[in-house]
Each structure stands twice: as C-alpha cells, then as structure tokens.
Amino acid sequence: MQTIFDLENVALSLSVNGAARAILRDVSFSVAQGEILTIVGASGTGKTSLLRLLAGLNRQTSGTLNFRGTPIDGPQDGVAIVFQDYTNALLQWRTVGNNVALGLPRKLDRAGRAARIGDTLRLVGLERNAGDYPWQLSGGMQQRVQIARALVADPSVLLMDEPFAALDAMTKAALQDELLRVRDETDASIVFITHDIEEAIYLGNRVAVLAGSPGAITRIFAIDIPFPRHQVTTRERPAFLRLRHEIHDAIGGHA
Amino acid sequence: MNRETLRGIGGVLIFLAAWEAAVRTRLIDFDYLPAPSVIAAALVEMAEDGEVFEEIVHTLRAALAGWLIAIVIGVVAGAALGLSPRARKYCLASVEALRPLPGIAFVPVAILVFGFSLETELVVVVIPTVWPILVNTMGGFAAIPSRLHDVARSFRMSPAAATLTVFAPATAPAILVGLRLSMTLALVMAVAVEMIGNPAGLGYAVVREAAALRPDLMFAYVFIIGVLGIVLNAALIGAAKLVLPGEFKRPRAEWSRT
C-alpha cells in the first residue's frame, strides 16, 4: 500500500514569548493510502501543531516529514484542510457556492465549475443552500460548507482538525456518518484530530495516541471493527468498549 | 420610503416651522437671521442665476478628487502597514505624530507653492483625509483572523490572489468606515480651503455673501453644502451595497449605521 505521509523522529519547537518551547518530540508514524487515521490526545499535547506540520503550514524543527516520498516544504497539491473554527475559516462575505468555488482549480470552465460545486454540495446535503451566506446557516451546516470546500477539488488527502468539536452531539453524530459515507465515495485518505476517544475509534482505521508535553505518539491502535459503522450498535461492541478503555489508559486517563 | 425616514423628515419640518414662526413673530430677532422661507426664495434666485451650479461642480471636484487621491494613498499604505508588523514598528510613530496636524494649517503653505488653484485645494483636502482611511485600513488588515491566512496558504494562493480574494474583502467593512469618515472630511476641507484660501466654489460663496450682507444667500449656500454631504454619503452606501451584497444583508453590520 502506498504511503501518503511518513514521519520520522519529528520534533517541533515554537517561540512562545521569546523563548523556545518544545511542542512535539520524537513523532514517528505513517499514513497509508485510503485509511482514516485518527489522532487522539488531551489538550496541550500538540495535536493541532502536528496537523499543521502535515498541512505544510508549519515546519518541523528536526526529523523528516515526507509527503509521497518528498519532504514537505509548504501546503501540497491534493491536500485539503478542514479547520475547527468554521466561522473564521469560511469567507463570510461569500455565498456558500462561492466559498466552495474557492477550492476549485482555476482551469475549469464556468459550466464545469457550477456542476462540480453542485455535486459537492449535494454530497454534504447543502444543495439548496448554494445562495445562502455562511452566517445564515447553523454551525453544523457551516462546517458542512467547509467540508464541501475541502472536497470540491477531489483531494487525495483530507486533514481535519477537531472539525466536529464545536458542534452539538446530534450534529456531531450525523457529520461523523456523513464523513464515512463521503470517504467511501471519494476514497481520500483522512487524518482526523480529535480529543474525543469514542469519535477516534468510531471513525478510524487506526487510532494514534498523542500524549505527554512535549507530545509524542505513544501508541497506535488498529481498529478492527468492520465498516459500515453504526452510531448505536458499533459503540456497543465489546471490541469498541475494550478499545475505549485501552485508549483512555494510554492517554493518561484525563481526556 | 420607510417610517423612520418619514419621521426624520417630519422632525426637520417641525424645526423649520418653529424657526419660521420664531422669526416672523420676532421671538428671536437678529439682523442677519432670515426665515426659512426667505432662504428658500434665495435658493430659487440662485438656481435661476445658474452660477451656483459651477460653484457646486468646483467644490465637488476638489472634494472628490482629493478623496480619491487619499483613498489610493490610504488603502495602499494602510494595507502594507496592516500586513507587515515590521513596517508598523518603523512607521507607526510617524503616523501618530503626523495625524494630529490640522489640515487647515497647510493652507498658507499650499498657497505659496501652488497659488490660488485647484492644486492648493487638493493638498489641503488630501492631507487630513488620508488618515481615517489609512488607520482603518491598517486596523482592518492587522485584525484579519490568522485562520484566513491559513486558508489562503492551504489553497496555495499567490500573495496577490490572497490579497484580492481573501484579505481585501475581509477588510472591506473597516475600509468602508474609513471611506465614510473621510468623505465627509473631504467636503469639509474643500469648503474650508475655499473660505480662507482659494477664492472659488461653495466655500468662497458663503464668505462672499456674508460680506455682501446677504444672509439669505449665505444660508442658502450652507444648505446646499449640507445637502451635498447627505447625497455623497448616500451614494457611497449605495455603491458599497453593490460591491458587498453579503455584508449588507448581514444583521447588525455596525459600520453601515450612520
């Protein structure tokens, strides 16, 4: 299987108030083509920093970080990002359709763009909202817009930074199932950051635990629970409960 | 016309009626305070004469040309300062030192350099008019959420594309605040420099009629200047609604209030 991301002994220090602060240390893992890797950890373990490294928005201080075998030197083609704070991440002055259009390649003609935007909005259930402005929509719908914007160019990798953390439980469950369905239709690899252990298990092919300060990947769990997953029955499986217990312990019991 | 506008007009009419009554009954009695009806008659007289239209064009040209120059300087410099913390570090002290200088103080300088001309008016209009635009544009660009920088980078936009498609629209409400403040200021400065500097346009006309002991004509000119201010402001808001439709439909867009 092809490797999308490959990290070896990656460390990150950032300057905080003029002093260097170690954020990540000794992070090694890889992401395979087509998998959903969820990264779970308590706050302050460097989850977002790790995703920013994968996104090419920050550079590691040491170690190697390869995307398809080449060192990352900035945001890569075919990698789309979904941020947690949809209100800031969406262009509030543009309609839903025009926000999604931001992700489209420039070479597409007008009809091709319209068709692609329509298809993508249908995928996330917003086909009737193309003319609305983001601030006219609920939080869950705004996050769907951001997901559509990420998906519209048919990325091979989707990086998601706690995308459902600000949403209520029901919306969160609905979007989790939508994400799994969308993945089946697009076959994108997904790196999904979360602080929610159950969400990490429910969505993931594998769950990586980020722990400590500075953070490091301390364990990686293979989730051999079959797809399609179901919000009630999957979460009742003995394997799910056992994993929840183990990951909880691996995190340090505070998440 | 909505109810609010009708009430506003009602308020003006009540004020004018009270003024008219007070002058006619000699409740207030100044030598040079005419009643509104007399001022209205003066307006008709001026319209028939026609010279007022040239004066309006002259003042409008000075105010708008100065305003446009100030927009170019203010938006470009404001964007550069807003986007670059380093540029701010070097320039902010100069900005703060220059900003309080009253534009009217430049009238003698401008007259010495440019004589009694439109250029003199432009200098005096542009200098104070730049600041509200520059400061608001700078603040707007500096306050762009870092997330929008992430978004622009993650879509691999060039700096020019990011500025045009993300940063400038995100800053548009702040820039518009600067444009509105400075537009009124441009008109005020144009009138002022015509009063004490370049003898032309509406500002000079007010002084001329006062000196000619024609308070009816003087008040008529003041009235015209006021109406120009209202019309310019309404035109700017109308234009902004065309350019930023999403922003105006948004509830509580505080900068759109007067």
Give the domain CATH number at B90: 1.10.3720.10
Those residues whose C-beta lies under 8 Å from the C-beta of residue A50, and which sit 6 or more positions away, are A12, A24, A27, A39, A193, A210, A215
| Cis, bond preceding B34 (omega within 30 deg of 0) | no
**In this predicted structure, what is the pLDDT of residue A167?**
85
Question: How many residue pairs from chains A and B have C-beta atoms closer than 8 A?
Answer: 50
Instruction: State whether A89 and B169 contact (CB < 8 Å).
Output: no
Question: Does A142 fall in a domain?
Answer: yes
Residues B154-172 have a mean pLDDT of 91
Single-letter residue type at A2: Q
Question: Does A119 fall in a domain?
Answer: yes
* Overall domain count for chain B: 2
Instruction: Give the DSSP letter of residue B116.
Output: S
Cα A86 to Cα A134, A145, A168, B64, B188: the distances in Å are: 9, 9, 14, 40, 43
Residues of chain A with Cβ-Cβ distance to B153 below 8 Å are 57, 74-75
B252 confidence band (pLDDT: 50, 70, 90): low
CA distance A149 to chain B (A): 10
**Residue of B154, B171, B242 to mutate, interface with A, max A Cβ within 10 Å:** B154
Whether residue A247 contacts residue A77, with contact meaning beta carbons closer than 8 Å, is answered with no
Instruction: State whether A75 and B148 contact (CB < 8 Å).
Output: no
CA distance A49 to chain B (A): 13
**In this predicted structure, what is the pLDDT of residue B257?**
47
Instruction: State whether B165 and A75 contact (CB < 8 Å).
Output: no
Whether B145 and B192 share a structural domain: yes
Instruction: State whether A91 and B170 contact (CB < 8 Å).
Output: yes
Whether B207 and B171 share a structural domain: yes
- Residue B59 three-state SS: helix
What is the C-alpha end-to-end distance of chain B, expressed in Å? 17
Whether B20 and B48 share a structural domain: no
B253 confidence band (pLDDT: 50, 70, 90): low
Does A227 contact chain B (CB < 8 Å)? Answer: no
In chain A, what's the furthest Cα-to-Cα distance? Answer: 53
Q: Torsion-angle region of residue B228: left (phi > 0), alpha (psi -120 to 50) or beta?
A: alpha
- Which phi and psi angles does B160 have, rounded to 5°? -65, -45
* Overall domain count for chain A: 1
In sequence order, the β-bridge partners of residue A19 are: A16
Single-letter residue type at B36: P
Residues A140, A156: Cα–Cα separation, whole Å? 24
Whether B178 and B241 share a structural domain: yes
Whether residue B190 contacts residue B125, with contact meaning beta carbons closer than 8 Å, is answered with yes
Whether B17 and B67 share a structural domain: no
**In this predicted structure, what is the pLDDT of residue B2?**
78
Question: Does A136 fall in a domain?
Answer: yes
Give the domain range for residue B22: 1-30
Residues of chain B with Cβ-Cβ distance to A54 below 8 Å are none
Residue B135, class by beta-carbon neighbours within 10 Å (0-12 exposed, 13-18 middle, 19+ buried)? buried
Whether residue A22 contacts residue A11, with contact meaning beta carbons closer than 8 Å, is answered with yes
Whether B43 and B156 share a structural domain: yes
B20 confidence band (pLDDT: 50, 70, 90): very high
Tell which residue, A66, A69, A54, has the closest CA to residue A24. A54
Residues B72-79 have a mean pLDDT of 94
Instruction: State whether A135 and B250 contact (CB < 8 Å).
Output: yes
Give the domain range for residue A109: 90-150
Question: Does A117 fall in a domain?
Answer: yes
Residues B142-160 have a mean pLDDT of 93
**In this predicted structure, what is the pLDDT of residue B197?**
86
- Which phi and psi angles does A6 have, rounded to 5°? -140, 115
B258 confidence band (pLDDT: 50, 70, 90): very low
Whether B16 and B41 share a structural domain: no
**In this predicted structure, what is the pLDDT of residue A253?**
54
**In this predicted structure, what is the pLDDT of residue A254?**
47
**Which residues of B sit within 8 Å Cβ distance of A?**
145, 147-148, 150-151, 153-156, 165-166, 169-170, 172, 244, 246-247, 249-250
pLDDT digits (tens, 9 = 90+) for A145-183: 999 999 898 899 999 999 999 888 888 998 899 899 888
Whether B17 and B129 share a structural domain: no
B150, pLDDT greater than 90 = yes
Structure tokens at A35: 């998998």
Residues of chain A with Cβ-Cβ distance to B150 below 8 Å are 57, 81, 83, 89
Question: Does A103 fall in a domain?
Answer: yes
The one-digit pLDDT tens for each residue of chain A (255 residues) are 689 999 999 999 998 888 989 999 999 999 999 999 999 999 889 999 999 999 999 999 999 999 999 999 999 999 999 999 999 999 998 999 999 999 888 788 888 899 999 999 998 889 999 999 999 999 999 999 999 999 898 899 999 999 999 888 888 998 899 899 888 888 889 999 999 999 999 999 999 999 988 999 999 999 999 989 999 999 999 999 999 999 999 987 544
**In this predicted structure, what is the pLDDT of residue B1?**
65
Instruction: State whether B147 and A88 contact (CB < 8 Å).
Output: yes
Residues A170, A140: Cα–Cα separation, whole Å? 10
Whether B1 and B60 share a structural domain: no
pLDDT digits (tens, 9 = 90+) for A24-46: 999 999 999 999 999 999 988 99
Instruction: State whether A74 and B153 contact (CB < 8 Å).
Output: yes
- Which phi and psi angles does A170 have, rounded to 5°? -70, -45
**In this predicted structure, what is the pLDDT of residue A1?**
64
Instruction: Report ipTM (2 d.p.).
Output: 0.91
Q: What's the gap between Cα A128 and its chain centre?
A: 26
Structure tokens at B224: 């015209």
Does A57 contact chain B (CB < 8 Å)? Answer: yes
Q: What is the DSSP string of chain A?
A: --EEEEEEEEEEEEEETTEEEEEEEEEEEEEETT-EEEEEE-TTSSHHHHHHHHHTSS--SEEEEEETTEE--SPPTTEEEE-S-HHHHS-TTS-HHHHHHTTS-TTS-HHHHHHHHHHHHHHTT-TT-TTS-GGGS-HHHHHHHHHHHHHTT--SEEEEESTTTTS-HHHHHHHHHHHHHHHHHH--EEEEEES-HHHHHHH-SEEEEEETTTBEEEEEEE---PSSP-TTHHHHSHHHHHHHHHHHHHHTS--
Question: Does A132 fall in a domain?
Answer: yes
In sequence order, the β-bridge partners of residue A206 are: A37, A222
Residues B210-237 have a mean pLDDT of 93
B251, pLDDT greater than 70 = no
B28, pLDDT greater than 70 = yes
Question: Does A243 fall in a domain?
Answer: no
**Residue of A83, A88, A137 to mutate, interface with B, max B Cβ within 10 Å:** A88
Whether B11 and B119 share a structural domain: no
Residues A82, B154: Cα–Cα separation, whole Å? 10
Whether B159 and B120 share a structural domain: yes
Instruction: State whether B150 and A103 contact (CB < 8 Å).
Output: no
